[in-house]
Structure 1
Amino acid sequence: MNENPDKPSFLTTEPGSQGRIAGVLQWLGSHELPVLLALFAILGALWGFAELAEEVMEGDTHEVDQALLLSMRNPADLSDPIGPGWVEEIGRDITALGGNAILTLLTIAVVGYLLLDGKRRMAVVLIVATLGALGVSTLLKNTIDRERPDLVPHHTRVYTASFPSGHSMLAASTFLTMGALLARVQRRKRMKAYILLVAITATLLVGLSRVYLGVHWPTDVLAGWTAGAAWALSCWLLARWLQRRHEVESETES
């Protein structure tokens, strides 16, 4: 019998290796498994980003990038993205979702919601997470300094370097962080799943629109998704840790 309910059962003196292994699995499943999975996902994302950045700087991804970018263009006229004109217009509308103006307005709206819902400390976490993602994105762009695609005309204005895609990274970090934080303060599983699904869908659409409009190589977008997802998971872990310490509001607080 474990006298300390907070102490993992595999640290007790219960005889038998099977009992200890079962205790390990039970403890991880009830307390630490989501955290461990998130940590492994973050490490995997960071490793993938580093490998991708190395391949890009060595020029090993150029052929794949070129083939994927041209697959979204009319072969008879590379200035014309595939599909009718209204699809191109939708692409520009979607890509705006990852722009600084929209993300700033969305962040303000979500922060306002959290404040009205009594989640003041969670609102502070969201502000710090969003500004931090912008800073990391800018630092990575200036460090790697990859040229924009020059195979096709750009169908929207660009001002910064290409790798990683800022729209993709900021969309991933902002939408996924917001989704994770909003899901943390919801009690119903259906609401949690819905919020996360919307965040993931918006992130994917923004990244695809950047390639469709010819302003990013596919590997730029993949790197942005990877870095943004790692940042969002890190923010989720931070919020979870702060909630455990009662420094950030939990699902039941109002």
Structure 2
Amino acid sequence: MPATRAALVGALALAAAALTATFGGLVTLDTATREWLIGRRSPDLTAVMIALSTIGSSVVLVPLALGVAVWLGVGRHRREASLVVGTTLGAWLLGPLLKHAVERARPEDAHLVLVNSWAYPSGHSLTSTAVLGVLSVVVSIRLTARTARLATVAAGVILVVLVGISRIYLGVHWPTDVLAGWLIGAGWLAGCLLVYEALERRRLVGE
């Protein structure tokens, strides 16, 4: 498992790096996908997409994760609380750092929500992938039924995908911004889980 997790972290990092190096050549695909989604706008769907975008924002996810961490800490699950805090705060900081490093401009038109930062990677996609991912892990390990664990993880994945789509639909991101956010968020999550599992193995050996 550790070797598999490490390989996954490396693969995600390489994929994100490759996308970062080549997104300039994907303008046609970016534009076509964005225009297709924007062409499907309707008042009801826009309301749903704004709600999804809000759910996937740091304003919602960071306090949610910290609240879960406090609950875990009170319940004497301090190591899991540290995992949630570390994964969340790392993702929250990583997004702005990468945005300033790449400095990709957002699409210029058809914005349905206000934005004031660089486009790449999508902070909503990155943060929701990492935070909802770690929360799904924390919840699923407390479930005994396999179907319940799979349903928890599936629900987290679906919500992450919908958050990313909402950012394109609302006109504030290119599809490759969202894809990069997913890749980087998944890589950060996998890395945090790798470290957590290594520390747990060391603790068990020490006991």
TM-score (norm 2): 0.91
CA–CA distance in structure 1, aligned partners of residues 198 and 144 of structure 2: 18
Whether the 8 Å contact between 1:180 and 1:236 is mirrored in structure 2 is no
Partner of 2:8: 41
Task: Give the one of 61, 69, 77 matched to 2:34.
Answer: 69
User: Structure 1: which amino acid aligns with 2:33?
Assistant: L
Shift of 1:111: 1.3
Cα separation, 2, equivalents of 1:183 and 1:112 = 18
| Structure with the larger RCO, 1 or 2 (CA within 8 Å, 6+ apart) | 2
Q: 1:244 aligns with which of 185, 201, 204?
A: 201
Counterpart position of 1:141: 99
Cα distance, 1:124 vs. partner? 1.8
SS of aligned partner of 1:141: helix
Q: Which residue of 2 aligns with 1:12?
A: none
Match of 1:204 in 2: 161
**What CA deviation, in whole Å up to 9, does each residue of 1:172-212 have, x standing for no partner?**
01111222233345454334323212221111110010001
8 Å Cα contact 1:133/1:173 also seen in 2: yes
SS in 2 for 1:61: helix
Gaps of 5+ in 2: none
1:160 aligns to what SS in structure 2?
A: coil
Alignment partners' CA distance in 1, 2:136 and 2:194: 13
**Which of 69, 72, 93 is 1:111 aligned to?**
69
Structure 1 alignment gaps of length 5 or more: 1-33, 75-81, 248-254
Asked if the contact 1:177–1:233 (Cα under 8 Å) also holds between the matched residues in 2, the reply is no
Equivalent pair of 1:46/1:226 in contact (CA under 8 Å): yes
Partner amino acid for 1:48? A
In the alignment, the residues of structure 2 paired with residue 183 and residue 242 of structure 1 have an alpha-carbon distance, to the nearest angstrom, of 20
Paired position in structure 1 for 2:18: 51
SS at match of 1:147: coil
Identity %: 28
Q: Separation in 1 of the partners of 2:141 and 2:189? A: 13
In structure 1, what is the equivalent of residue 192 of structure 2? Answer: 235
Name the structure 2 match of 1:195. 152
For the pair 1:95 / 2:56, whether they are aligned, the reply is no
RMSD over aligned CA atoms reads 1.7
Find the counterpart in structure 2 of residue 226 from structure 1: 183
Conserved 8 A contact 2:41-2:169: no
C-alpha displacement of 1:83? 4.1
TM-score (norm 1): 0.75
Q: CA deviation at 1:100?
A: 1.6
Tell me, yes or no, if the aligned pair for 2:126 and 2:184 is still in contact at 8 Å: yes
Cα distance in 2 for residues equivalent to 1:172 and 1:162: 17
Partner of 1:120: 78
